[in-house]
Amino acid sequence: MWPKRLFLFFSVILLSLLPAILFHRSEIPLFWKWSANYALFAILYLGLCVLSVVFYLKIDKIGLTFCVYLLFIYGFSFLLIDFVIGSVSYYSQVDMRSHPVYHHFPHPGKHRLIVRNNFFSNQRFNMSINSAGLRSDKEIPISKPENCFRILALGDSFLQGYGVNDHETCCYLLEKYLNDSENDTVRYEVLNAGVNSFAPIIEYIYLKTDGVRFNPDLVILLLDMSDLWQTQEYLKRAIKDQNGTIVAIRPPAVTLWGRVNRFILNRFYYTSWLIMYIERTFFKEEYDKTQTAIRRRDIEDIRFTLSADQKPWAEEWQSVYADIDLINGFCKERNIGFAVVVYPWGHQVNGFEWAEGRKWWNIPDNYTAPPDVSYMLEEEFRKRGIPVLNLFPTFRDYKGSELLYYVIDLHWTKEGNKLAAQCLYDFVKDKFLRKNR
């Protein structure tokens, strides 16, 4: 009788634990929404329920050991299916590596990814990272060809084009527009050096360490809203030389569990949610340390985007300006053109862009944040003599039928990248190409 009760006890715990974790709405409020993969999980889970009931009723004839063995085989089959789903389309971010100078850097190769698009489907896309860490499906020589105007674009995942294919990013489209419309005797190259969660301080280090080797004629920095708080976190990891100059951002410590965890998050679909939930719930302090400035989601981090008054964050903004001043000074010393682009997140455009994803950050429904932060940034950069493109007005005035941002994921759709590329083309042509003719 005891083996039967023991089996019942562990079966109840297992069957109640899985849905409690995977559908815990307070931690992952959008996970319970419908998708084909969730339907598959429901089928597998119901199969486990049926097996558990059958084994409980027949345990006296089958035996406890054999029942446990069959459940183990079922669990192993579930992990195998989970591995196949996760490997066919990676669910997490592009596989990152710790970098001794830039904190982190993308792993070269072709990444098959998906973004959370809506409740019924995910958007699949391919992201190619070449050996130099640039978003491109081709290798780009360090030496610049003759009669070539080379633009080096710096930024984070928006610039990198997270959510769209290689030939749909704003950098790829900008290069196409320039070569299709400008002087045939000059070839234009736009190098996409965007990396997920980069901020101006890392972009400065990258530029003077590796980016400058491409001999760019123009450097364009896309300033993201997340740069405000990420800058503060990266400065805590700054490594300085004897003169007090920042020369690197210390990477997070790489542990055996970190490597295993990265593999799970990149190769398993359902198990990755289980791991993240356990870390957030039972190891929250350690989890927050690893997520700081990378994937943290908290309304306090973006409260400045909801306010017209930026005075409470004046000190933090000064840190961002100081890092951009370093990039500007570096470019001036080498006679390289430099410009900054300021762009909005979905909740700063209107009340319906990024409609569900904003809920992860506790942003009110149908709320449109004021654009004042963009005007402040525009004015600051003009004071410094830095050409600036403010995309807020164009994005807020957009009347097209396609969404500029994904419903759940925060990044630009194909249409968002296209609109940004069109604005960049007009800006670059007006500010930097006319004077060179």
Task: Provide mean pLDDT across the span 100-113.
Answer: 88
pLDDT, residue 363, reads 87
Together in a domain, 70 and 206? no
pLDDT of residue 286: 58
- Kindly state whether residue 263 falls inside one of the protein's structural domains: no
- What is the rounded CA–CA span in Å between residue 206 and residue 327? 10
139 and 198, same domain (yes or no) = yes
Q: What is the pLDDT of residue 131?
A: 94
Whether residue 429 sits in one domain with residue 345: yes
- Residue 115 placed within a domain: no
Q: Given a cut of 90, is residue 47 above it in pLDDT?
A: no
pLDDT above 90 for 256: no
Q: 41 and 154: one domain?
A: no
pLDDT band at 117 (very low <50, low <70, confident <90, very high): confident
* List of E strands, 19-147: 96-99, 103-106, 109-116, 122-129
For residue 421, the model assigns a pLDDT of 98
pLDDT of amino acid 158: 97
Using pLDDT thresholds of 50, 70 and 90, give the confidence band for residue 58: confident
Instruction: Looking at the structure, tell me whether residues 245 and 379 fall in a common domain.
Output: yes
Please state, in angstroms and rounded to a whole number, the distance separating the CA atoms of residues 119 and 139.
37
Lowest-confidence region among 45-49, 165-169, 222-226, 280-284:
280-284
* Residue spans of beta strands (DSSP E) within 295-395: 337-342, 388-390
Q: CB count, 10 Å around CB of 290?
A: 16
Span 176-198, pLDDT tens digits: 999 998 667 899 999 999 999 99
pLDDT score for 15:
63
Q: Among 63, 88, 113, which residue terminates a domain? A: 88
pLDDT reported for residue 277: 66
What CA dihedral angle connects 270, 271, 274 and 280, to 10 degrees?
-110
Query: To 5 degrees, how large is the angle CA 203–CA 191–CA 173?
Result: 120
Report if residue 122 sits inside a domain. Answer: no
pLDDT level of residue 45 (50, 70, 90 thresholds): confident
Give me the residues paired with residue 340 across strands: 221, 388
Of 118 and 407, the one with more pLDDT? 407
Q: 133: alpha, beta or left, given left = phi > 0 and alpha = psi -120 to 50? A: left
Residues 306, 373 within the same domain: yes
Measure Cα distances from 351 to 224, 362, 375, 384 in Å. Answer: 20, 14, 20, 33
By the 8 A CB rule, do 317 and 200 touch? no
Helices and strands in the chain: count of H runs, count of E runs: 14, 11
Do 187 and 41 sit in the same domain of this protein?
Answer: no
Burial bucket for residue 186 (CB in 10 Å: 0-12, 13-18, 19+): middle
Identify the band that residue 92 occupies on the pLDDT scale cut at 50, 70 and 90. Answer: very low
- Closest Cα partner for 202 from 242, 156, 158? 156
Residues 218 and 320 placed together within one structural domain of the fold: yes
- Please give the mean pLDDT across all residues of the chain: 84
pLDDT at 30 over 60: no
Residue 421 resides in a domain: yes
Residue 366 lies in a domain: yes
Determine, yes or no, domain membership for 118.
no
CATH of the domain at 150: 3.40.50.1110
Looking at per-residue confidence, does 401 or 278 come out higher? Answer: 401
What does the pLDDT read at residue 301?
76
Instruction: Say whether both 144 and 54 belong to one domain.
Output: no
Q: Given 57, 88, 119, which residue is the final one in a domain?
A: 88
pLDDT at residue 36, rounded to an integer? 57
**Is pLDDT above 90 for 136?**
yes
Answer yes or no: is pLDDT of 6 > 50: yes
32 and 132 inside one domain:
no
66 & 149 share domain: no
Query: How close are the terminal C-alpha atoms of the chain, in Å?
Result: 91
Residue with tokens 């969660």: 197
Q: pLDDT higher for 48 or 131?
A: 131
Total domains, the chain: 2
Structural domain span for residue 7: 2-88
Mean pLDDT for the stretch of residues 355-382: 92
22 and 131, same domain (yes or no): no
Whether pLDDT at 28 is above 50: no
pLDDT at 29: 37
The beta strands (E) that lie in 358-406 are given as: 388-390
**Quick one: average pLDDT of 224-237?**
92
In this predicted model, what pLDDT tens digit does every residue of 263-315 receive, in sequence order?
A: 777 777 777 777 766 766 666 555 555 544 444 456 667 889 999 999 999 99
Strands 96-99 and 148-154: unpaired
**Does residue 271 fall inside a structural domain?**
no
Q: Which residues of 92-103 are buried (b: 16+ CB within 10 A; e: fewer)?
A: bbbbbeebebbb
Give the pLDDT score at 20. Answer: 56
Mean local confidence (pLDDT), 424-428: 97
Q: What angle do CA 374, 378, 379 make, to 5 degrees?
A: 120
Q: Could you give the maximum distance between any two Cα atoms of the chain, in Å?
A: 91
Lowest mean pLDDT, pick from 132-146, 248-262, 339-353, 399-413: 248-262
